[in-house]
Chain A
Amino acid sequence: MDLGKILIDAGRAAVGVPAAVYALSAIGLNLQFGYTGLLNFGHVASMLVGAYGLAITVDQGGSMWLGIVVGLILAVLLGLLMGVPTLRLRADYLAIVTIAVGEILRLVVRSRFAAPLTNALSGIQGFADSFYDLNPIPVGQYGIGTFRFDERLTFVLLVGWGLVGLTTLLIRRLTRSPWGRVIRAIREDEDAARSLGKNVFAYKLQSLMVGSAIGGLAGIVLAIAQQNVGPDNYLPLLTFYAFTIVIVGGPGTLRGPIIGSVIFWFVFSFFDGFMTGAVTEGWFGDLLDATDIGPIRFALFGVVLMWLMTYRPQGIFGKREELLIADGR
């Protein structure tokens, strides 16, 4: 087993397209969950409508830019649609409704009656050519040693991480303003916020819509990178990856989602490489074979998560004293 190669591959995964996409997605979720305290279990739905908004628009003859705008608007409308009936109710209802909305949307785009637009199970491909036509980077390999990406991937990575940086700046401006103070107050106690004259419903709705738009952006980047959208790319699991990332990084912190995503993908890829090596070298004899690697790395990540929750439950960047206070209530 070549540990050096496994580490380099893990490093590639840590800065790769999925890491950028999940960082972006987690930034949106962090605004909703970390700052506002909203339990949105259907965050994947925002990614889905962003991606399908782009793919369908281009597929029907629109331009890519129009597609991106359509995807973002649909994501904002999704936030509105999920929020209006549920945000006046208790937090658990939002969780129930959102997880259902995510599954309903996936089943709708997958269904036969939607096939004229969505191609049902086959999905839509090849809608992002005009994105790659914009690539200003000359053909070649970029990076150091074996840590290299081709010009196409380099372009996607630059755009992806660039968007991560820009949205982080947006969230920073929002959360360090009086608006951000109100949403944190709502997270702590919405009746108190109400008694001080704050329109809690409107703030929650705004937070849900902005978070959903960022989730939609994540879906758009993923769709462009893969040149493919298909219903089963948007399983509820993606929402829980995003939650894992937010919690690992530290909810309600600016750097949390980014660092959380990098760590998530590094550890995940490391376990993947390590287990593959170990199984190939026959460490486990007949106990495990190659098909077991997929599930095992999830289990191992679960162990890491448990360890983290035991020794650093506030996440990597969360403040310990905040957690002690939250416990003491």
Chain B
Amino acid sequence: MAAERFSLEGVAAVPGVPKPDPVVVIDDLGRAFGGIQAVDVAHLEVQRGTITSLIGPNGAGKTTLFNVLTGFDRPQHGRWQLNGGPLVGIPAFRVARLGMVRTFQLTKSLARLTVLENLMVAAKDQVGESFWGSLFGNWRPIEAANEDKALASLERFGLRHMAGEYAGGLSGGQRKLLEMARALMVDPEVVMLDEPTAGVNPALTQSLLEHIKNLRRDGMTVVFIEHDMDVVQEISDWVICMSQGRLIAEGPPGEVARNPSVIDAYLGKHHGEIT
């Protein structure tokens, strides 16, 4: 979308470059496992309302970065914030409530809950979810409103006919859709998708990408990890490339794809050199 891309026009394609309206800001973030520095990012900003792809070879630290940002992992050092509010030391469930919701590389469908229940459980501000509220609270009207919202969402994701089925009975691709629909029930500002298209057939991938574009249209910021460069080129406003825990390039998709250090990281150094 041209309008969104325009918001990043004139931003230099340099790692760590400041953005006009950053929603996520990371500073001096380090996460090591033993002697391996999994993430080592000096500075990174994510522009609000864009689709930002996070690419890089296996082991580049993309998922670790996701884990740290969403409170699922603790780094050795660093600061990171959402909408200007610090997220350091905030537990995962609170990060989600603050508006940053993630999905997982290996889908985590709640197998023995129905598809509808999978969405209902994600809804915010249900008084019946507190212990005393469940016994004495008037939660049924909220439940009815949430159910309407959940059914509408299932309709949009083409899962309406599966609403009463156990989520464990869905196909791999349907689970990816379910996980995305479920994350949206939290009404997030920032959606972090960890390889949403992995293991999904091409037709379903297209429909997933349409859903991701719709998130941007609805004003959300999407950060997603992706390996398929065609997908990245098609929908990203901005691309960030990591390698061995470091930020090696960022910029508009076309520019990053031509960046020599990105090509090196993916194909190995010295490719094509005749010695």
1/0 per residue, CB under 8 A from B, across A186-200: the answer is 011101111111111
| Chain A residue contacts of B206, Cβ below 8 A | none
**Min distance, Cβ B57 to any Cβ of chain A, angstroms:** 25
Q: Is the interface of A mostly helix, strand, loop or mixed?
A: helix
- Using CB atoms, name the residue of chain A closest to B130: A179
* CB–CB B131/A192 < 8 A: no
Q: How many residues of B contact A (CB 8 A)?
A: 40
Interface members, chain B 109-165 (any A CB < 8 Å):
109-113, 117, 120-122, 124, 126, 128-131, 133-135, 139, 143
Known A173-B135, A192-B110, A197-B96; contact A322-B166, beta-carbon cutoff 8 A: yes
List residues of chain A with CB under 8 Å of any chain B CB: 170, 173-174, 177-182, 184-185, 187-189, 191-200, 206, 210, 321-322, 325-326, 328-329
A326 B186 Cβ-Cβ under 8 A: no
- Counted as pairs of residues, one from A and one from B, with CB atoms less than 8 Å apart, the total is 115
Name the A residues within 8 Å of B91 (CB-CB): 194, 199
A188 with B111, Cβ < 8 A, contacts A178-B128, A195-B102, A198-B93 known? yes
List the B side residues contacting A188 at CB < 8 Å. 110-113
Q: Please measure, in the bound complex, the distance between the C-alpha atom of A174 and the C-alpha atom of B136, giving whole angstroms.
A: 10
A179 to B124, CA, bound (A): 13
Is there a chain A Cβ closer than 8 Å to B70's Cβ? yes
Alpha-carbon distance between A61 and B135 when the two chains are bound, in angstroms: 35
**Residues of chain A lying within 8 A (CB to CB) of residue B130:** 179
22 A/B residue pairs, CB under 8 Å, sorted by A = A170-B135, A177-B128, A177-B134, A177-B135, A178-B139, A179-B130, A179-B134, A184-B112, A185-B110, A191-B72, A191-B92, A192-B104, A194-B91, A195-B102, A196-B93, A196-B122, A196-B182, A197-B101, A321-B166, A326-B112, A328-B111, A328-B168
Q: B113 to A181, Cβ gap below 8 A?
A: yes
A325 engages B166 (CB within 8 Å): yes
Residues of the B chain whose Cβ atoms lie less than 8 Å from the Cβ of A193: 93, 110, 121
- Given known A-B contacts A177-B128, A179-B131, A194 and B108 have beta carbons under 8 A apart: no
Given A182-B129, A185-B121: A194 in contact with B112 (beta carbons within 8 A): no
Specify which of B72, B93, B117, B139 is in contact with A197 (CB 8 Å cutoff): B93
Task: Please name 4 further chain A to chain B contacts, defined as beta carbons within 8 Å, in addition to the given A193-B121, A196-B185, sorted by A numbering.
Answer: A196-B186, A321-B169, A322-B166, A326-B112
